[in-house]
Structure 1
């Protein structure tokens, strides 16, 4: 007797062949796709009647710079999508790595699933992953004048600039961060008979 997961794996293998790497962990299937095969694989996942992943639920960007405590030697940036087939009642995760760490560029799947619009914008805004073919790739969570991408592992915790209201100019101004690093030493209280009656 085959399980629901095995049926999904067989359907994926038949439809996609050698274009994807497949792994299963905790009852979930993850497909790893090369950037050059990404659009074709995503189109097949949606249009093949044996798969029929009609919904893209989520796409997020991932920075693998410090993954595994720095033991990661692969490409740095990836986009990870979660797809749902209501018809077959199954889900799949698709991971694609951007081939260039200096300029992470991936094809947009907005022509396949319109729901990806804001997700690709978020991955661009927070991680700097560019999606070729996206018709409105602009910041969505940070300010338009924001410098950098705050979810990158090498982005400074305090950022590069800070904003404050200047009462003399009667407007918000941006200036370099003025936080001085400091060390907090906790005060320790020691009592001889603490907790004893």
Structure 2
């Protein structure tokens, strides 16, 4: 038996009521509800979203890091790194997005969600690997996509396109070795060559 999907505006009101002052904002845009919480209230708010009878978000569908970099001065209270999670309630047929900002740009830290949703384990490892966000209380926080000797966090906006080192297998040494980057910098946006007076512009 299928459950009829709740109206987004009703879900917005419900979540605002359940979270109370633990939510910084509960907004509705393009038919989707987004909750923003502070780092201090993150764990408690997520526990409520899972356990409250009106919410029952039993599944953490996705969790990813975000680097606002140059955009951090526009609507982010000057903070650079955030984590965005997508929650699903199968029982109540509803979804919500949750955003939380790390309070320290130099050492971004948040509580782990792995004790609330087991699926957070690898998702948080990915956010740690690619963005350098540390999840306090995580049982096994180590890189998951890059190799063990990788330097830096490649999804940060200030990470160089060519990286810091390159690796190859050396047959003589019988192992993988790391060397300085030898490829030349590339242009991402191709040059567009136009004729004079193209499109009637002078």
TM-score band, normalised by the shorter chain? Answer: 0.7 to 0.9
In structure 1, C-alpha distance between the alignment counterparts of 2:112 and 2:170, rounded to whole Å? 41
1:77 corresponds to 2:54: no
| Conserved? CA contact 2:162–2:185, under 8 Å | no
Q: CA RMSD in A?
A: 2.2
Q: Cα 1:178–1:89, aligned 2, differ >3 Å: closer, same or farther?
A: same
In structure 2, C-alpha distance between the alignment counterparts of 1:180 and 1:44, rounded to whole Å? 51
Q: Cα 1:180–1:13, aligned 2, differ >3 Å: closer, same or farther?
A: closer
Q: What is the deviation of 1:79?
A: 0.6
In structure 2, C-alpha distance between the alignment counterparts of 1:55 and 1:89, rounded to whole Å? 11
In structure 2, C-alpha distance between the alignment counterparts of 1:137 and 1:26, rounded to whole Å? 35
Q: Cα 1:43–1:67, aligned 2, differ >3 Å: closer, same or farther?
A: same
Q: Which runs of 4+ in 1 moved over 6 A?
A: none
| Equivalences for residues 3-152 of structure 1 within 5 A | 4-20=7-23, 21-67=25-71, 74-152=78-156
Q: What is the deviation of 1:24?
A: 1.3
Q: What is the deviation of 1:22?
A: 1.3
**Normalising to structure 2: TM-score of the pair?**
0.84
* The structure with more radius of gyration: 1
In structure 2, C-alpha distance between the alignment counterparts of 1:61 and 1:12, rounded to whole Å? 23
State how many pairs are aligned: 184
Q: Cα 1:173–1:104, aligned 2, differ >3 Å: closer, same or farther?
A: same
In structure 1, C-alpha distance between the alignment counterparts of 2:22 and 2:108, rounded to whole Å? 21
Residue number in structure 1 paired with 2:200: none
3-state SS of paired residue (2:69): coil
Q: Cα 1:182–1:117, aligned 2, differ >3 Å: closer, same or farther?
A: closer
Query: Gaps (5+ residues) in structure 2?
Result: 1-5, 196-202
Q: What is the deviation of 1:71?
A: 5.2
Pick one of 142, 151, 157 that aligns with 2:161.
157
3-state SS of paired residue (2:85): strand
Q: What is the deviation of 1:18?
A: 2.3
**Normalising to structure 1: TM-score of the pair?**
0.86
